[in-house]
Structure 1
Amino acid sequence: MPPSLLPGASLVWLAVGHPRYTRGDKRKCLNNYAYRLATALTLGITFPLASLAPSCPCGAGIDTLGDHFFLCSRATAERVFKHNTLLDVFKAILAEVGITAVTEVPLRSLNITPPNAQPNSQRMDLFFSINGEGVLCDITVVHPCRPENSTAHHTQVNRSNARRPGGFAAAGAERDKDRKYGANCRQKGYTFVPLAAETFGRWGGETLTLLRRLAQRRVLPPASSAEDRAFFHEGVMNHWGSVCRSR
């Protein structure tokens, strides 16, 4: 099994979440098709694609393992959908710990120079403050099986990257985001955190660090021991991870 799919790395979304979230909570519900597709992609098994055209509008053939769906914007909006829903989840997590976040913040409104003239590079997904520290976050979703040298529309798909160490793709996505935005944000006194997620479910290290920091803000029961606090915060992390992975 590829390291990116090892238990504990990508299958946590199957775990039972916080008891206050019921079975009917839409943040943890998948319809039948979405569940079958998620299971097939996670386990690396073929998925029935009989109802789909044999080729993508970009000209590539549709592979039975589904990689092309996560690589080509002309095939589906799968990664865009995941990006947008994760943005909603992160905003809800911040609200849960008493932090108000602003989404789609123009960089120039913070006196930060955008990295280029591309429309998608002019805004930051999240802006919030923790103890007077301004934090900017940008979400990125990366597919571990993305070819090293992708063509314009990813017309050749292979699964070699899935054999890389777990989290390899997410770590690379974090570095790419930091190269793009990090220096300009820090120059103006802001902290930049790339929120990277792999399509198989693994989170980037900086995302986990931020979630742990936010978990510390959750109110503990009175007279809690150090062991109780550690268990409580770990439970919060597991709950948030379950919610995020179900999107």
Structure 2
Amino acid sequence: MEALHLIQREKFLAALPAEGKARLRSCAGTGTSAWLTAIPSSGWTRISLTLFTTAIRLRLGLSIPEIRRNPICVYGTPLDVEGQHAQTCGTGGGVWWWHEQMKDAFYSLLQGLRHCYVIREPTFGQLGLSTATRLVEERQKRPDFLAGLPSGDTVLADVAVTHPFSIDANRLCRFAKTAGSAARGMEKVKNDRYGEICHEIGFRFVPLVFETYGRPGEGVLRFLKEVVKLGAGLGAGRVRGGEGDEAV
């Protein structure tokens, strides 16, 4: 039965355009469908009807009715009804909103871990990066949070949300061919931006990257496993926060 399923899946993939292949591979990632069966027990697991409907349509590759009613981006760019531009535009609010949701979720998760402290958006200058060896703009870079873990390790983490779609044919082909390649590409961007500086000041850098369809990057999975292991060893309490806000 499983072999038959795989054959049917490959036939279905072969019939899709590149953007459809990229979407399907992204949607098949670890945990990407968990929100469909989540029990609405807190703000982190509740979602409005409009957001739920939009998320379902994006997942299925269907047009978004809200975009038909408002077809122009806030900066005047025409919006495609499939939501490709809306999921990549940094000025329209959606990408920033997703980023803030994920950042707050990790912040609350770590706050719920015993013997762990978290600092939001510290600059490297505040963390001791020397002006003699680094440019001013590097000292002002702000990863999303610093966390002192119960293990004694200090982690600097930066969250990113990336869309597995591109107008560049080569990039789109890569997204369509290899699952998770959009997240891996963004992890490389983050590591190039922060990794060397973090090493210089003695901290470990963790890129926390998600694709817009929910697929987590490898750094997210490793970090969550680490936090769960630490929590199991300490008897951590529940995750705090999120009681009053809707989540994706």
TM-score (norm 2): 0.75
1:189 aligned to 2:207? Answer: no
Match of 2:219 among 206, 220, 228: 206
Deviates more, 1:55-64 or 1:199-208: 55-64
Alpha carbons of structure 1 residues 212 and 112: separation in structure 2 relative to 1, 3 Å: same
> Does 1:87 find its partner at 2:103?
yes
Question: Structure 1 residues 9 and 132 mapped into 2: Cα distance closer, same or farther (>3 Å)?
Answer: closer
TM-aligned CA distance change 1:120 to 1:38, over 3 Å: farther
Q: What stretches of structure 2 of length at least 5 have no aligned partner?
A: 1-12, 14-23, 239-246
1:51 maps onto 2:69 in alignment: yes
Partner of 1:129: 148
Cα-to-partner distance string for 1:42-67 (whole Å, 9 max, x where unaligned): 111111133203x3354542111001
Task: Name the CA shift for 1:183/1:6 in 2 (closer, same or farther; >3 Å).
Answer: same
Kept in 2: contact 1:125–1:138 (CA 8 A): yes
**Take 1:86 and 1:38, find their aligned partners in 2: how far apart are those partners?**
16
Instruction: Classify 1:105/1:135 alpha carbon distance in 2 versus 1 (closer, same or farther; 3 Å).
Output: same
Q: Aligned partners of 2:29, 2:52: CA distance in 1, in Å?
A: 18
In structure 1, what is the Cα distance between the partners aligned to 2:37 and 2:177? 25
* Structure-to-structure mapping, 1:1-247, within 5 angstroms: 2-6=24-28, 8-16=30-38, 23-48=40-65, 49-53=67-71, 55-74=72-91, 76-98=92-114, 99-112=116-129, 122-130=141-149, 131-148=151-168, 162-219=175-232, 246-247=247-248
CA distance in 1, matches of 2:90, 2:181: 22
Report what 2:19 is aligned to: none
- 1:106/1:123 contact within 8 Å kept: yes
Measure the CA separation in 1 of the matches of 2:137 and 2:86.
24
CA distance in 1, matches of 2:155, 2:75: 38
1:41 partner SS: helix
SS of equivalent residue, structure 1 residue 85: helix
Distance 1:221 1:86 in 2: 24
Output the CA distance in 2 between the equivalents of 1:46 and 1:37: 9
Amino acid aligned to 1:132? G
TM-score, normalised by the number of residues in structure 1: 0.75
How far, CA to CA, are the matches of 2:173 and 2:126 in structure 1? Answer: 42
Deviations 1:156-214 (A, max 9, x none): xx965652322111111000000011011101111000111110001110111011000
1:119 deviates by: 9.4
RMSD: 3.0
What count of residue pairs does the alignment treat as equivalent? 211
